[in-house]
Structure 1
């Protein structure tokens, strides 16, 4: 069968134009996500329109966001559960926003102690308190808390673990180790943290040097007569799981909640 119109494209042309494989296009058809404009049953030749190209690009975009082909099919054709798909896409957007933010933070230079104003979200956490001897001991205690939280089956995948300095001195390693969990977690380790304004420094470097950022943040708060409303939080953005022994690339958000009614801040 000859190509019937200049407005139709063969599968090989579509694959080349869009940078996909023929197999990918055929899989989309098998999943019911794509129907060729013309299909010659005798020869098996398929012809596609510009609209089909738009469909393929849309499917690829949703795959890039993290949706499976089954989820994409439901997204297009399941009109009964639209709220579920909206929530899923909102979660994916939040993940993308976090990753974009993290990439921006990776540009932070060692020694940059710039102070930023942020909003810390409301969180429910699995928490345990420890008296730690040093940064290495603190890392071990945080890992132990993480393992215990994971065993509850309620750990939140979208939020970062953190520690709070519970002692009266910023030099003490009296730490509350906090692992975000789902709202329905129930247990003696459950603690809730309200949404709050905070000042923070994105510290790049080994954990042993975090006090440098804490000291700088404390000096800023005292110099501007700002009233702190909680302990220093160390929120672990980049660390050993994906940076290994390259401690110079660790990124920790050192944050201090403050009252909006105090002093002159950022």
Structure 2
């Protein structure tokens, strides 16, 4: 009688069938092979050359587990160390907990945006510490600011990997000098370079502004008045986080921008 592993090879999938069953591309499967995460269970030869690849359900299960770990945020290199016992499981656990915290942070921000769309309420929000590619310019008109922003976005995203957990670019400026603008592009946490800045964790007051970019002054001043009346100390800077803009909406009335005033430490 055949054991489990002997039976496994009775039911084989071609690479195309495996890709379809798992909802991925053939290229992804071949990439897993190149990384040493999987290998074909049967490999035929045609005229002395590699021919067809076949995979068992065991291998498809392994592919599913790899995809799950990727979806949780682990890189292929981290997954390789996990499977080959080259990494302390506590390190992997810590990485997953870090990703969970970042995901919870994003959920809170999206929930706040949804709940504030109708009443434009003042919210207490926080931002995790992050790395950004940044440059400070004196921009005196909206046209100048768009030009500076496009250039700095282009330079930052060509030089560094973006941060998938902080995909939105933003600007910061002193409340007493709104033309002195620092343009910030979130990048991977391991980024280093002359224009890379490490920003600390922040807590502050925010309003989700729905409308064109010309309308930022009113919600900003509303936040300043609220903080003054409530005797809340501000850091003296303002941040505009561009959440939904021209890339998503033709109508500027549908733009969504977070106006954020950090609190003094």
Give the TM-score normalised by the residue count of structure 1.
Answer: 0.63
CA contact 1:204–1:251 (8 Å) conserved in 2: yes
Q: Which residue number corresponds to residue 145 of structure 1?
A: 152
Q: How many residues matched?
A: 247
CA contact 2:175–2:236 (8 Å) conserved in 1: no
Tell me whether 1:255 sits opposite 2:260 in the alignment.
yes
CA contact 2:136–2:181 (8 Å) conserved in 1: yes
Structure 1 residues 56, 186: CA separation in 2 closer, same or farther (over 3 Å shift)? closer
Among 223, 227, 230, the alignment partner of 2:233 is: 227
CA contact 2:173–2:182 (8 Å) conserved in 1: no
Q: CA deviation at 1:220?
A: 1.7
Q: Secondary structure at the match of 1:225?
A: coil
Tell me whether 1:243 sits opposite 2:248 in the alignment.
yes
Give the TM-score normalised by the residue count of structure 2.
Answer: 0.63
Structure 1 residues 10, 234: CA separation in 2 closer, same or farther (over 3 Å shift)? same
CA contact 1:213–1:254 (8 Å) conserved in 2: yes
C-alpha distance in 2 between matches for 1:74 and 1:118:
37
Q: CA deviation at 1:27?
A: 5.7
Q: Secondary structure at the match of 1:79?
A: coil
C-alpha distance in 2 between matches for 1:68 and 1:183:
16
Higher strand share: 2
Among 133, 138, 141, the alignment partner of 1:130 is: 138
1:140-219 alignment runs, 5 A limit:
140-149=147-156, 153=159, 155=160, 157-158=162-163, 159=166, 160-168=168-176, 173-180=178-185, 184-186=192-194, 193-219=199-225
Q: Secondary structure at the match of 1:113?
A: coil
Question: Any unmatched runs of 5+ in structure 2?
Answer: 45-51
Question: Any unmatched runs of 5+ in structure 1?
Answer: 261-266
Of the structure 1 ranges 212-221 and 225-234, higher mean CA displacement relative to structure 2 is found in: 212-221
Tell me whether 1:118 sits opposite 2:125 in the alignment.
yes
C-alpha distance in 2 between matches for 1:165 and 1:62:
39
Question: CA RMSD of the aligned region, Å?
Answer: 5.0
Structure 1 residues 58, 246: CA separation in 2 closer, same or farther (over 3 Å shift)? farther
C-alpha distance in 1 between matches for 2:181 and 2:84:
47
CA contact 1:112–1:203 (8 Å) conserved in 2: no
CA contact 2:243–2:256 (8 Å) conserved in 1: yes
